């Protein structure tokens, strides 16, 4: 993938990478027409996808320079250094853009929660059930209003919820 980047000078590579980061941060991305004589449409889309993914991955996972350079091993030294210099110089800006994108998924925030563990001994269909159930009450603030959410979860659903929350927490910690 990176061998096609060597079709432009290292200086133009820096400019292209800055424009890719601009696009990542919600500003004007690079324009295809500026590079139409250099790359085919397919190559252009692959290159943009590669650079965008590289910047997101490097910042989102706090990848050290050595690993970034390993991902750029197909590129010549000057182009790899150009990409790395843009990444280093705009690291905080990319991080803020990733955080903004993540937090814009929902404006809801958890204010409080309460839980109770219940044991369902039987139901109208089964005389002996003995199933533990978790009753979870969440107080969620969304657009200034407090909204209560109540749910009852069985053992598998509690495990799924815990796994999802742990994964979400891991992503948040990586973005900090």
Q: Are 136 and 115 in contact (CB under 8 A)?
A: yes
Q: What is the 3-state secondary structure (H, E, C) of 12-56?
A: HHHHHHHHHHHHHCCCCCCCHHHHCCCCCHHHHHHHHHHHHHHHH
Residues in the chain, overall count: 176
CB proximity list for 60: less than 8 A, separation 6 or greater: 98, 174, 175
pLDDT at 38 over 80: yes
pLDDT of 78 higher than 70: yes
Mean pLDDT of the chain, nearest integer:
89
d(CA 37, CA 44): 11
C-alpha 68/C-alpha 58 separation (Å) is 7
Whether 17 has a pLDDT exceeding 80, the answer reads yes
Domain boundaries, the chain: 2-103, 108-175
Position 5 pLDDT exceeds 90: no
DSSP state of 124: S
pTM of the entire structure?
0.64
Question: Which two tokens mark 152?
Answer: 């009852």
Average pLDDT over residues 3-29: 93
Q: What is the mean pLDDT of residues 66-94?
A: 93
Identify the band that residue 67 occupies on the pLDDT scale cut at 50, 70 and 90. Answer: very high
- The 10s digit of each residue's pLDDT in 89-148 is 999 999 999 988 877 777 788 899 999 998 877 766 666 677 889 999 999 988 888 999
Give the residue-averaged pLDDT of 58-79. Answer: 91
CB 4 within 8 A of CB 43: yes
Q: Which of the listed ranges 2-16, 97-111, 120-134, 162-176 does the model predict with the highest average pLDDT?
A: 2-16
Percent of the chain exceeding pLDDT 90 equals 66
Q: Give the pLDDT of residue 127.
A: 67
pLDDT in the model for residue 170: 87
């Amino acid at each position: 993938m990176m061998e096609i980047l060597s079709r432009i000078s290292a200086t133009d590579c820096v400019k292209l990478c800055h424009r890719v980061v601009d696009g990542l941060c919600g500003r004007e991305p690079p324009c295809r027409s500026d590079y139409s004589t250099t790359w085919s449409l397919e190559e252009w889309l692959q290159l943009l996808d590669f650079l965008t993914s590289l910047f997101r991955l490097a910042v989102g996972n706090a990848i050290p320079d050595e690993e970034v350079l390993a991902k750029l091993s197909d590129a010549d030294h000057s182009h790899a250094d150009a990409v790395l210099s843009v990444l280093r110089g705009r690291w905080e800006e990319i991080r803020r853009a990733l955080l903004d994108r993540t937090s814009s998924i929902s404006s809801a925030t958890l204010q409080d929660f309460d839980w109770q563990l219940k044991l369902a001994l039987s139901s109208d269909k089964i005389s002996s059930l003995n199933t533990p159930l978790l009753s979870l009450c969440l107080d969620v603030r969304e657009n200034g209003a407090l909204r209560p959410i109540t749910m009852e979860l069985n053992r598998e659903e509690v495990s799924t919820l815990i796994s999802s929350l742990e994964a979400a927490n891991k992503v948040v910690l990586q973005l900090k």
